[in-house]
Amino acid sequence: MRRHFWFAVALALVAATSGLSARQAPSRSPRNASYTLTATLDPVNRQLYGSGRLRWQNTSHVEATELRFHTYWNAWRDEHSTWMREQRLSGYDPLERRADDDRGSIDVTTLALVTAAGSENLLPQARFVAPDDGNGEDRTVLLVPLPRPVAPGATIDIDLGWNAHVPRTFARAGAIGNYFFIAQWFPKIGVLEDSGWNCHQFHAATEFFADFGLYDVSMTVPTGWVVGATGREQSVADNGNGTATHRYVESDVHDFAWTTSPSFKDLHVRFEEPGFQTVDIRLLLQPEHQSQADRHFAAARAALKYFSTWFGPYPYDHLTIVDPVTIVNARAQGNSSGGMEYPTLITAGTNWSQPWASVDLENVVVHETGHQFWYGVVATNEFENAWMDEGVNSFATARVLAEAFPARFVRVRRYLGGLITWKYQDVRWSRDGVGNGLNSYRLDPSRDVQSTPTWKYWPGAAAFVTTYDKTALWMATLERRLGPATMEKVLATYYARNAFAHPLPATFFAIASEVSGEDLTWFADAVYRSASTFDYSLEQVSDQPAGNGSTDSTVVVRRRADGVFPVDVRVTFDDGSAVTERWDGRDTWRAFHYRRAAHVLTAAVDPDRTLLLDLNYTNNSWTSQSRAAEASRKWSLRWLTWFEHVLMTYAFFT
């Protein structure tokens, strides 16, 4: 009931403000970090010249004696940044094969405090700091001492100016050919909390965190180039010198990204469904992907519909989807800018061959649209608690895909450099194995304790597993334990109460406990505050005659890993009876004894597969009618014929 009340209030607010411009709409967020910016792009030299003004309000309870800005693009200036060092830890050297001109950088040229008398230059005292790892060569956090403290509640204006070199794409920002995706491109102020500045260095395993505000950005690009950005386009002015200036405005957002290219196909549809916020969906599509336009729109519509239904209304009336240049050779072209979220703008990504049965396109569009709710509105700290966005969204995305596109997807692989796409019709997409990431989680399940700040995670694939997969799996586990309706209510309540609020993990678990009516501290301890793995197994089953036609049966279950989770044990007998035991899962083993006039037919621990984090589900059960020999014969024959093919292929060269 409460969820529906909040939903109705939010919807009414959205409906009431949808006719207003972004500047006029009443504030839904604190709007304490607002930017008015201009950017001029020199696509030939890949230079970006920016200037503007930041209006910042100290919403903490402490004085601000300094400011801290993110200067993200300096992470790609040289090999010494923390971002580069951490990438190399994961076995990937981003600068290998990169020419010097392919690197990125941002140089702040103006930093001035606006006063009644003019402005005070703050740049001379500014210096780079490394609050996370002390790396003196990292230049992604700029500390700016203030001449006078800013009191709690006070507001200041800062004039900014910077030059940036647009890199060949790193971390989803950059350029290739005449395609530019510009993100994290301006000096962005950190978040001041009561405990001090929350302004982390740019790490390989993390994304971003900032306060909400109003963004008014004017971008000058060559005439005829299509521009897409956060917000709605307010105007386009031809400057008469071969350039045009596009102005975009958006309120109640915490970031601003934009893209430009002369090649985009600019397509529009409208998401209109009774009871839902109308959303103008704009798609900037690579011409070679024209045939996939409808799929982009269908996926975005499904995401908007289901996320809005389950969790809460989408608070904006527009969404831009960018189809980035497809990267075929990352070593030379740079990384893709696809699969990323920014407020009211997402990047998707597809291939020329994208079979209807492939989940890739729908997955990325649903996932990035879903981020609008978690990353965009709830806006958790992606430096410290990335799971609260990525993991929650992964869980929700899998749910949408299962609901909106049932039984459609199969495994698709691209061979010979992408020339040939093959569908494995027998390998169906599954919500748990693929969607919730069980298959990848299994490969590296315990690298980091999830409650560790994300920026401290081991970088690379391991961070992805801990952030995305593990969260999705324990959320799906929680859903199985609480039931889908209750889980939906948990997330809807979490969304409604924490819109524009930057909640912490404790908030999420508190709401989960409150809504479910169950203290879930034990659950958070097991899955979130430890790196334990889970593996329950059916150890043995034995039957002994007990006289008088009855049988003494013993079923032994075992905990093989260090993770503890309460599980059911279900035993069926050959007389048709069954019994379900509850086991708290704490001891390393437990025996269940039965005396009855029947033999055990099957036994299973966690028979309903509530605990999706169980790494080895095959060992969870036992049957007196095992067909393992038959199954192994079947599949070893298939393997045999496959291997005969392999032998003949290589023997061709003898």
Partner 1 sequence: MPSSPELARPKATVLGALVEGWRRVLAAPGIAAGMLLATLLVALPLSIVVGRSIESHLGDSIESGQLVAGWDAGWAAEFAAQAEGIARTFTYEILGFGGLLSTLSRLLDQKGPSGQTGIVDPALLGAIALYGALWVFLAGGLLDRFARGRAVGASAFFSACGVHFFRFLRLGLVIGFAYWALFRWLHPLLFTSLYDRLTRDLTVEHYALAIRALLYFVFMAALALVNVIADIAKVRIVVEDRRSALSALGAALRFIRRRAGRVIALYLVNVIALLIVGRLWMQVTPSAATPDWLAFLAAQAYLLARIWARLAFMASEVVFFQGELAHAQYTARPLVRWPDSPSVEGIRNLGA
Residue with Cβ nearer partner 1 (129 or 438): 438
For the CB of residue 440, give the shortest distance to partner 1 in the complex, in Å. Answer: 9
Q: Which of 356, 424, 522, 589 binds partner 1 (CB under 8 A)?
A: 424
Strand partners, 590: 557
- CB atoms closer than 10 angstroms to residue 67: 26
Give ∠ CA 242-244-250 in degrees, rounded to 5.
Answer: 165
Q: List the one residue out of 150, 444, 466, 178 whose CA is nearest residue 324.
A: 178
Q: Which stretch binds partner 1 (CB under 8 A): 134-142, 143-151, 155-163, 625-633?
A: 625-633
- C-alpha 434/C-alpha 421 separation (Å) is 19
- Does residue 630 interact with partner 1 by CB under 8 A? yes
First to last CA, the chain: 74
The CA distances from residue 361 to 300, 350, 358, in Å, are: 11, 6, 7
CA 164 to chain centre: 27
Q: Which stretch binds partner 1 (CB under 8 A): 143-151, 188-196, 325-333, 395-403?
A: 325-333
Q: Which stretch binds partner 1 (CB under 8 A): 22-30, 471-479, 559-567, 610-618?
A: 610-618
Of residues 449 through 508, those in contact with partner 1 by CB under 8 A are none
For the CB of residue 462, give the shortest distance to partner 1 in the complex, in Å. Answer: 15
Of residues 145 through 184, those in contact with partner 1 by CB under 8 A are 176-179
- Does residue 622 interact with partner 1 by CB under 8 A? yes
Of residues 206 through 265, those in contact with partner 1 by CB under 8 A are 261, 263
Q: Which of 44, 485, 506, 648 binds partner 1 (CB under 8 A)?
A: 648
- Does residue 419 interact with partner 1 by CB under 8 A? yes
- Does residue 205 interact with partner 1 by CB under 8 A? no
Q: Which of 95, 269, 293, 427 binds partner 1 (CB under 8 A)?
A: 427
- Does residue 653 interact with partner 1 by CB under 8 A? yes
Single-letter code of the amino acid located at 561: A
Q: Which helix (H) or strand (E) holds 549?
A: none
Q: Which of 105, 119, 135, 621 binds partner 1 (CB under 8 A)?
A: 621
* Site residue total, partner 1 (CB under 8 A): 84
3-state secondary structure 564-622: CCCEEEEEEECCCCEEEEEECCCCCEEEEEEEECCCEEEEEECCCCCCCCECCCHHHEE
Q: Which of 111, 217, 438, 527 binds partner 1 (CB under 8 A)?
A: 438
Q: Which helix (H) or strand (E) holds 532?
A: none
- Is the alpha carbon torsion for 145, 149, 155, 156 positive or negative? negative
Cβ partners under 8 Å of residue 134, min gap 6: none
The pair phi, psi for residue 58, each rounded to 5°, is -80, 100
Strands 232-238 and 196-198 come out as unpaired
Of residues 348 through 377, those in contact with partner 1 by CB under 8 A are 351-352
Residue with Cβ nearer partner 1 (202 or 617): 617
Q: Which of 92, 356, 522, 639 binds partner 1 (CB under 8 A)?
A: 639
Q: Which of 240, 242, 274, 417 binds partner 1 (CB under 8 A)?
A: 417
Residue with Cβ nearer partner 1 (143 or 615): 615
Of residues 536 through 575, those in contact with partner 1 by CB under 8 A are 538, 541
Single-letter code of the amino acid located at 407: A
Q: Which stretch binds partner 1 (CB under 8 A): 76-84, 227-235, 585-593, 643-651?
A: 643-651
Q: Which stretch binds partner 1 (CB under 8 A): 29-37, 229-237, 320-328, 362-370?
A: 320-328
Residue with Cβ nearer partner 1 (411 or 599): 411
For 69-114, the DSSP string reads: EE-GGGGGSSTTSHHHHHHHHTT--TTTT--GGG--EEEEEEEEEE
Residue burial 139-172, b: 16+ Cβ < 10 Å; e: rest: bbbbbbebeeebeeeeebebbbbbebbbbbbbbb
Residue with Cβ nearer partner 1 (544 or 625): 625
- Does residue 626 interact with partner 1 by CB under 8 A? yes
- C-alpha 396/C-alpha 391 separation (Å) is 9
The CA distances from residue 13 to 173, 277, 314, in Å, are: 34, 10, 11
3-state secondary structure 163-214: EEECCECECCEEEECCEEEECCCCCEECEEECCEEECCCCCCCCCCCCCCEE
- Does residue 329 interact with partner 1 by CB under 8 A? yes
For the CB of residue 428, give the shortest distance to partner 1 in the complex, in Å. Answer: 6
Q: Which residue is associated with the tokens 């909640």? A: 503
Residue with Cβ nearer partner 1 (255 or 479): 479
Q: Which stretch binds partner 1 (CB under 8 A): 247-255, 373-381, 481-489, 611-619?
A: 611-619
- C-alpha 270/C-alpha 226 separation (Å) is 20
Of residues 255 through 314, those in contact with partner 1 by CB under 8 A are 261, 263, 286-288
Beta strand extents in 230-317 (DSSP E only): 232-238, 243-253, 258-261, 265-271, 279-285
Residue with Cβ nearer partner 1 (154 or 443): 443
Q: Which of 241, 544, 588, 649 binds partner 1 (CB under 8 A)?
A: 649
Q: Which stretch binds partner 1 (CB under 8 A): 19-27, 436-444, 463-471, 500-508?
A: 436-444
Cβ(536)–Cβ(553) below 8 Å: no
Residue with Cβ nearer partner 1 (519 or 644): 644
- Does residue 323 interact with partner 1 by CB under 8 A? no
Q: Which of 5, 92, 589, 635 binds partner 1 (CB under 8 A)?
A: 635
Of residues 589 through 608, those in contact with partner 1 by CB under 8 A are 602, 604
Cβ(126)–Cβ(113) below 8 Å: no
- Does residue 1 interact with partner 1 by CB under 8 A? no
Q: Which of 236, 237, 443, 578 binds partner 1 (CB under 8 A)?
A: 443
Cβ partners under 8 Å of residue 222, min gap 6: 43, 242, 243, 244, 262
Residue with Cβ nearer partner 1 (38 or 532): 532
What's the burial of 549, exposed, middle or buried (CB within 10 Å: 0-12/13-18/19+)? exposed
Q: Which stretch binds partner 1 (CB under 8 A): 72-80, 266-274, 364-372, 638-646?
A: 638-646
Residue with Cβ nearer partner 1 (1 or 646): 646
Give ∠ CA 38-42-44 in degrees, rounded to 5.
Answer: 165
- C-alpha 566/C-alpha 587 separation (Å) is 11
Of residues 86 through 145, those in contact with partner 1 by CB under 8 A are 97
Q: Which stretch binds partner 1 (CB under 8 A): 37-45, 61-69, 221-229, 423-431?
A: 423-431
